[in-house]
């Protein structure tokens, strides 16, 4: 039992509650009593009698912080309906609760990923096939397969999205104490080229007892899945390239690792930019989805932007050269880093 770490984690949940109380409800809610959820099958609960807000200890320790916060906001919506709106004659997930969730971009319930639409299934199948072709030992064939996969993603988002998309929110990668510049560049790649919005949020690291950052990604189920895979693939590939670079240059320290990785992802981003320009030349132009932007605004009304400062050393330049050689390959469903659950929108 991690008694002290448990206490810190519960306090962190209380701090997150205070933050979201200000952002969503302008501080209207009064602090509840926080405790661990005792029911094995419940992720959280709000109990008017005793004013207790409970969160599953098992979930808080094992699931990504994005999931923990989504459950917390879910219970805060219940608290708001009961204590601020004073509604007593509706079911727990009745109209008032649904309105609050819709207004603030709260996912109504944390669950397994909802079934994909026929269009999503077809698009993912075709993209997986194209990424499998990118395994070709012939570099030209591999490059063309990757470009074709991205073109298919673009066509899916331009033509096959339903009129009312079922938005999903998930954390990609693990929460970290600091956000290195190369991770910021990688998040930018997901937003610019993979039809999702990637947002850095405050995240608590329960095993270390401190606050850090986590990457939240929002979009359709298919796009979130592809972004999740791409993120894991690029992180893994970047580390492989750094290890090979160290061996080749007989480098003993990791002093240049972050700059090398920043170069890698800068090079890959420039490569994707060229592919995007080719699609524009074909008349395939992605201008974003205002519905997704509206969801992000509701979820993060005080969103701030921050860039990445990088020293362009020789290691950065060498990394950039290697990044331009990366070919996104198969394994969409197998290499997602084990993050697993998405939150149904």
Helix/strand/coil percentages in the chain, nearest 5? 55, 15, 35
Q: Is residue 180 part of a domain?
A: no
- 92: domain CATH number? 3.30.2010.10
Residue 204 lies in a domain: no
pLDDT at 109: 64
Tokens of 307: 């860039």
Last residue in a domain, options 82, 110, 138: 110
In the chain, what percentage of residues exceed pLDDT 90?
Answer: 59
pTM, 2 dp: 0.85
- Work out how many domains the chain is built from and give that number: 2
| 154 and 75 assigned to the same domain | no
Examine the pLDDT at 339 and tell me if it is beyond 60. no
pLDDT at 49 over 60: yes
- Mind listing the pLDDT tens digit for each residue in 270-294? 998 888 877 776 666 677 788 999 9
Same-domain status, 65 and 139:
no
Report if residue 210 sits inside a domain. no
Regarding whether 264 and 158 lie in a shared domain, the answer is yes
Same domain, 63 and 128: no
Tokens of 254: 């990791």
Place of tokens 């986590």: 214
Least confident of 78-92, 139-153, 184-198, 240-254: 139-153
**pLDDT at 161 > cutoff 90:** no
Q: Is position 11 within any domain?
A: yes
Instruction: Concatenate the DSSP letters of all residues of 93-155 into one string.
Output: TSHHHHHHHHHHT--SEE-SPPPPPHHHHHHHHHHHHHHHHTT-SSHHHHHHHHHHHHHHHHH
Residue 27 within any structural domain of the chain: yes
CA-to-CA distance for 41 and 310, rounded, in angstroms? 46
**Does residue 86 come out as left (phi exceeding 0), alpha (psi in the -120 to 50 range) or beta?**
left
Cα 45 from Cα 61, distance rounded (Å): 17
Q: Please choose, from the candidates 77, 76, 69, the residue with its C-alpha nearest in 3D space to the C-alpha of residue 97.
A: 77
**Per-residue pLDDT for 333 more than 90?**
no
Q: Clarify whether residues 226 and 83 are in a common domain.
A: no
Q: Last residue of a domain, which of 93, 110, 127?
A: 110
Q: What average pLDDT does this structure show over 251-259? A: 94
Per-residue pLDDT averaged across 120-131, rounded?
Answer: 71
> Which DSSP helix (H) or strand (E) runs through 182?
helix 181-193
In sequence order, what are the beta bridge partners of 54? Answer: 35, 45
Classify residue 213: in a domain, yes or no. no
> Is the pLDDT confidence value at 115 over 80?
no
Q: Indicate if 140 and 271 belong to the same structural domain.
A: yes
Name which of 76-85, 106-115, 198-207 the model is least confident about.
106-115
Q: Of the given ranges (31-35, 88-92, 116-120, 247-251), which has the lowest mean pLDDT?
A: 116-120
- Locate 10 and state its tokens: 């519960």
Whether the per-residue pLDDT at 335 is higher than 50: the answer is no
What whole-number distance in Å separates Cα of residue 234 and Cα of residue 327? 10
Nearest to 217 by CA among 188, 238, 237, 239: 188
Same domain for 97 and 145, yes or no, is no
Is residue 203 included in any domain, yes or no? Answer: no
Q: What is the DSSP letter of 31?
A: P
Q: Indicate whether 104 belongs to any domain.
A: yes
Answer whether 193's CB lies under 8 Å from 219's CB.
no
Lowest mean pLDDT, pick from 105-119, 147-161, 221-235, 236-250: 105-119
pLDDT beyond 60 at 268: yes
pLDDT at 62 over 70: yes
Residue 330 clears pLDDT 90, i.e. is over it: no
The string of pLDDT tens digits covering residues 307-326 is: 667 778 999 999 999 999 98
SS3 category, 75: helix
Residues 6+ apart with CB under 8 A from 181: 258, 262, 308, 309, 310
CB 323 within 8 A of CB 273: no
158 in the same domain as 13: no
Q: End-to-end CA distance of the chain, in Å?
A: 35
Give the three-state DSSP class for 203: strand
Please check whether residues 97 and 122 belong to one and the same domain: no
How large is the angle between the packed helices 314-323 and 221-249, nearest 10 degrees? Answer: 130
Same-domain pairing of 57 and 128: no
Q: Where are the beta strands (DSSP E) in 188-236?
A: 197-205, 210-219
Quote the pLDDT of residue 79: 97
Query: 266 lies in which domain range?
Result: 118-168+187-198+220-344
Kindly report the average pLDDT of the chain as a whole number. 85
Whole-number pLDDT of residue 317:
96
pLDDT of the residue at 342: 39
Q: Which of these three, 110, 127, 157, is where a domain ends?
A: 110
Same domain, residue pair 142 and 284: yes
Of 345, 338, 333, 344, nearest in space to 63 by CA = 338
Instruction: Read off the tokens for 16.
Output: 């997150």
Domain check: are 86 and 136 in the same one? no
């Amino acid at each position: 039992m991690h008694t002290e770490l448990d206490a810190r984690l519960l306090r962190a949940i209380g701090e997150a509650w205070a933050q979201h109380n200000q952002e969503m409800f302008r501080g209207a809610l009064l602090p509840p009593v926080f405790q661990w959820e005792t029911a094995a099958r419940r992720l959280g609960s709000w109990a008017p009698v005793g004013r207790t807000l409970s969160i599953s200890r098992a979930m808080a320790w094992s699931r990504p912080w994005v999931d923990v916060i989504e459950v917390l906001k879910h219970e805060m919506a219940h608290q708001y309906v009961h204590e601020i709106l004073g509604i007593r004659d509706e079911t727990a997930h009745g109209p008032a609760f649904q309105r609050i969730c819709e207004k603030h971009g709260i996912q109504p319930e944390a669950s397994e990923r909802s079934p994909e639409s026929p269009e999503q299934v077809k698009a993912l199948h075709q993209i997986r096939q194209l990424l499998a072709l990118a395994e070709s030992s012939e570099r030209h064939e591999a490059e063309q397969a990757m470009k074709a996969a991205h073109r298919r993603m673009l066509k899916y988002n331009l033509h096959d999205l339903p009129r009312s998309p079922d938005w999903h929110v998930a954390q990609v990668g693990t929460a970290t104490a600091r956000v290195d510049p190369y991770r910021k560049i990688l998040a930018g790649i997901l937003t610019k080229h993979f039809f999702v919005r990637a947002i850095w949020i405050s995240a608590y690291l329960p095993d270390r007892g401190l606050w850090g950052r986590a990457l939240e990604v929002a979009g359709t189920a298919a796009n979130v899945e592809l972004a999740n895979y791409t993120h894991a693939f690029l992180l893994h590939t970047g580390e492989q390239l750094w290890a090979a670079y160290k061996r080749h240059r007989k480098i003993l320290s990791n002093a240049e690792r972050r700059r090398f990785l920043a170069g890698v992802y800068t090079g890959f981003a420039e490569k994707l930019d060229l592919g995007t320009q080719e699609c524009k030349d074909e008349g395939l132009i992605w201008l974003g989805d205002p519905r997704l932007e509206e969801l992000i605004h509701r979820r993060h009304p005080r969103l701030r932007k921050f860039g990445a400062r990088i020293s362009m050393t020789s290691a950065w330049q060498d990394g950039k050269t290697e990044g331009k050689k990366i070919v996104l390959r198969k394994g969409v469903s197998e290499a997602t880093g084990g993050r697993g659950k998405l939150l149904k929108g």
